[in-house]
A and B are shown apart, each in its own frame.
Chain A
Amino acid sequence: MSATYPVLRITASDAARPSRLAHVWRSRELLRELIIRNLKVKYQRSLLGFVWTFLNPLMTVGILVLVFSHVVRIPLSDYWAFVLSGYFVWNCILQTLNTGTYIFAEHSRLTRSVAFPSEILVFGAVGSRLLEFLAEMTLILILLIAFHHAAVPASFALFPLTLIIQVLLVIGMALPIATLSVFYYDVQHALPIALTTLFYLSPVFYPAQMVPEAARPFYFLNPLAGLLTLYHEILYAGRMPSLTLLFGMMTASLLVYLIGYAIFSRYADVFPEIV
């Protein structure tokens, strides 16, 4: 009888709806295909492929190192190792957030004609960028082990944890950015300005310790400041971060994720009608 068929009931209210995460889980095959598509489209017609992905931020690192160890001197030993352990993280976040401004517009046909949880598109962008990031970080870890630590510091074991924190933060920031971009094209103009500001307000080319003591409580309101400091501790300094920082960031990233997802969920239902 009808019990053998999956039954779906749709109403105007939220009461009868399955949770978004359950819906996302059912669409995991689509998520995987989107990640594969993103990577294929980017790399299949490129001879040097990943070399470009790695070289581009590496050039910036080179410039930062040149300027901040020879012109404006930042007193850190192996300054290149310091910049290397933070800049690629920054770059990954920056690119993912920028993708958020056009991801729904780019997939408007899909959003208008298929019933799927649209956060999958954001997850797909985060996922494919994350795979590239893992490849980049593998190279960076090797460089740091070979030329900076001359050993494998135990703190490297925390890398997967910082990665999870990073993913939660990025999703929590990308979802509201993508949501707002559906309603206002202003976002794609405003975001680069915001990110440029954030670049200077985050410890990318200078350590957070150089920020005046009095300003630090405000400084660390920016969750990226904490994330980058975590990376600096773990990868550059090669020591275990303070538990305050670690648990603080775990809580903060979870909060950002939940709030960002809630904002997105509030408006996601109307995306098919307006993209």
Chain B
Amino acid sequence: MPSSAATPTFSLRSSDRGLEAAVELRGVSKRFYYYDHRTSSLREWFIRRILRHPLSVGRAEFTLRSFDLRVGRGQAVALIGSNGSGKSTALRLIAGIYRPSSGTIWTYGRLTAVIELGAGFHPELTGADNVALYAAVLGLGRRELMARYDEVVDFAQLEGFMDTPLKYYSSGMEARLAFSVAVCLQPDILLLDEVLAVGDQAFRNRCLARLRSYHERGGTLILVSHEVEALRELCTRAVWLEKGVMQMDGDVDEVLAAYQVHDGNRSPGAQ
């Protein structure tokens, strides 16, 4: 590859060693148990207890297999891969939602993870109440929120709707409100899972601009998305996962190109 001379900047543990780590994963695996027995009876549970089988009997599958990742402070990294490749699992592990089956994860700094936009929103509450609730969900106290409240409303462009119950919002308005809270948090590390496709084009552009300025100010960003253009624009590095195993780690353009070739081979009809 002609550009290979320029890429080692982001290969694992080589030249980014100079960068202080913001997130580090070492040998992280995640095995899921499928709780088939949820539909089964209590009787079966008692039998299992008596026979001393663990509660979690079911098919176990790896969604992530000995994953190593070191994200330097201030890096913007894209996690890509087809559905079920383990991207979201990796993000949830870094966020501390799942516990790894083995391996260790370190995070250095205040971390905000937006895995599902607006998780915790309540339709009966007003926009303002939901902002307070969602901010608390994402780890922001009321006093800190007060300082940024106007910024949130301003960014969402929902002045005049803040006393309206959320159930009267359109889905675009709701997503805008949630995203505004998320981007106004200013954490050290921001994880976003498929939440870029929000609102109209104008709002998306402002979101991208916002994320870019967050990154320029030194924020660490890890993105899961299928929006290639947005990833190219925001990230410098990409990590490609397939069936829980890392395929490639390097410059965003190269990894995306390789991924698209793979993706094209897999489903020739697409795109």
By a CB distance below 8 angstroms, the chain A residues around B93 are 10
* Structural contact, B116 and A12, CB atoms closer than 8 A: no
- The distance in angstroms between the C-alpha atoms of A29 and B110, with both chains bound, is 16
Stretch of B96-104, B148-156, B261-269 contacting A (4+ beta carbons < 8 Å): B96-104
By a CB distance below 8 angstroms, the chain B residues around A10 are 93, 96, 99-100, 104-107
Is A72 an interface residue when CB atoms closer than 8 A count as contact? no
* Structural contact, A115 and B95, CB atoms closer than 8 A: yes
Q: Decide: A9 near B106, CB < 8 A? Known: A29-B142, A41-B125, A273-B32.
A: yes
By a CB distance below 8 angstroms, the chain A residues around B106 are 7-10
By a CB distance below 8 angstroms, the chain A residues around B95 are 114-115
Contact with B along A150-191 (1 / 0, CB 8 A): 000000000000000000000000000000000111100000
By a CB distance below 8 angstroms, the chain A residues around B141 are 29
Residues 116-166 of B at the A interface (beta carbon under 8 Å)? 116, 119-120, 122, 124-125, 129, 132-133, 136-142
* Structural contact, A1 and B115, CB atoms closer than 8 A: no
Is A5 an interface residue when CB atoms closer than 8 A count as contact? yes
Chain B residue with minimal CB distance to A182?
B38
* Structural contact, B103 and A11, CB atoms closer than 8 A: yes
CB distance from B234 to the nearest CB of A (A): 21
* Structural contact, B97 and A112, CB atoms closer than 8 A: yes
* Structural contact, A5 and B103, CB atoms closer than 8 A: no
By a CB distance below 8 angstroms, the chain B residues around A40 are 124-125, 129
* Structural contact, B138 and A114, CB atoms closer than 8 A: yes
Among candidates A9, A44, A114, residue contacting B104 with C-beta atoms closer than 8 Å: A9
By a CB distance below 8 angstroms, the chain B residues around A11 are 100, 103-105
CB distance from A75 to the nearest CB of B (A): 43
- The distance in angstroms between the C-alpha atoms of A112 and B97, with both chains bound, is 7
By a CB distance below 8 angstroms, the chain B residues around A1 are 20
* Structural contact, A186 and B132, CB atoms closer than 8 A: no
Q: Decide: A37 near B137, CB < 8 A? Known: A6-B110, A12-B102.
A: no
- The distance in angstroms between the C-alpha atoms of A158 and B107, with both chains bound, is 47
- The distance in angstroms between the C-alpha atoms of A110 and B121, with both chains bound, is 9
Is A33 an interface residue when CB atoms closer than 8 A count as contact? yes
Number of interface residues of B (CB under 8 A): 50
Is A70 an interface residue when CB atoms closer than 8 A count as contact? no
Is A206 an interface residue when CB atoms closer than 8 A count as contact? no
Residues 67-124 of B at the A interface (beta carbon under 8 Å)? 92-93, 95-111, 113-116, 119-120, 122, 124
Among candidates A30, A37, A113, A186, residue contacting B119 with C-beta atoms closer than 8 Å: A113
- The distance in angstroms between the C-alpha atoms of A183 and B58, with both chains bound, is 13
- The distance in angstroms between the C-alpha atoms of A273 and B97, with both chains bound, is 9
Is B228 an interface residue when CB atoms closer than 8 A count as contact? no
Residues 6-45 of A at the B interface (beta carbon under 8 Å)? 6-12, 29-30, 32-34, 36-37, 40-41, 44-45
Is B55 an interface residue when CB atoms closer than 8 A count as contact? yes
Chain A residue with minimal CB distance to B96?
A115
CB distance from B91 to the nearest CB of A (A): 10
* Structural contact, B20 and A37, CB atoms closer than 8 A: no
Chain A residue with minimal CB distance to B41?
A186
Residues 234-275 of A at the B interface (beta carbon under 8 Å)? 267, 269-270, 272-274
* Structural contact, A37 and B125, CB atoms closer than 8 A: yes
* Structural contact, A12 and B109, CB atoms closer than 8 A: no
- The distance in angstroms between the C-alpha atoms of A10 and B107, with both chains bound, is 9
Chain A residue with minimal CB distance to B145?
A29
- The distance in angstroms between the C-alpha atoms of A9 and B115, with both chains bound, is 20
Is A219 an interface residue when CB atoms closer than 8 A count as contact? no
By a CB distance below 8 angstroms, the chain B residues around A9 are 104-106
* Structural contact, B42 and A12, CB atoms closer than 8 A: no
Is B35 an interface residue when CB atoms closer than 8 A count as contact? yes
- 6 A-B contacts, Cβ less than 8 Å apart? A7-B107, A9-B105, A34-B136, A41-B124, A113-B114, A115-B96
Residues of B within 8 A of A (CB): 20-21, 32-33, 35, 38, 41-42, 45, 55-56, 92-93, 95-111, 113-116, 119-120, 122, 124-125, 129, 132-133, 136-142, 188
A-B contact sample (18 more), CB < 8 A, given A9-B104, A10-B100 = A12-B99, A12-B101, A12-B102, A29-B142, A33-B136, A37-B129, A109-B120, A110-B137, A112-B97, A112-B116, A113-B92, A113-B116, A114-B97, A114-B115, A115-B113, A184-B42, A185-B38, A269-B99
**Top 7 closest pairs, chain A to chain B, by CB:** A113-B115, A115-B96, A5-B109, A33-B136, A113-B116, A10-B105, A30-B136
